[in-house]
Amino acid sequence: DQQVKQNSPSLSVQEGRISILNCDYTNSMFDYFLWYKKYPAEGPTFLISISSIKDKNEDGRFTVFLNKSAKHLSLHIVPSQPGDSAVYFCAARIIQGAQKLVFGQGTRLTINP
Partner 1 sequence: DVKVTQSSRYLVKRTGEKVFLECVQDMDHENMFWYRQDPGLGLRLIYFSYDVKMKEKGDIPEGYSVSREKKERFSLILESASTNQTSMYLCASSLDNSNQPQHFGDGTRLSIL
Binding of partner 1 by 110 (CB under 8 A):
no
Q: Which is nearer to partner 1, 2 or 14 (CB)?
A: 2
Angle, alpha carbons 104-110-113 (nearest 5°): 160
CB of 113 to partner 1, least distance (A): 27
Among 13, 34, 92, 109, binds partner 1 (CB under 8 A): 34
Binding of partner 1 by 32 (CB under 8 A):
yes
DSSP string, 9-35: SEEEEETTS-EEEEEEE--TTEEEEEE
Q: Which is nearer to partner 1, 14 or 39 (CB)?
A: 39
Binding of partner 1 by 98 (CB under 8 A):
yes
Binding of partner 1 by 44 (CB under 8 A):
yes
**Displacement of CA 47 from its chain's centroid (Å):** 8
Euclidean distance between the first and final Cα of the chain, in Å?
A: 38
CB of 98 to partner 1, least distance (A): 6
What does the buried/exposed string (b/e) look like for 27-61 if buried means 16 or more CB atoms within 10 Å of the residue's CB? eeebebbbbbbbeeeeebeebbbbebeeeeeeeee
Binding residues for partner 1, rule: CB under 8 A, are 4, 6, 9, 32, 34, 36, 41-46, 49, 51, 89, 91, 98-106
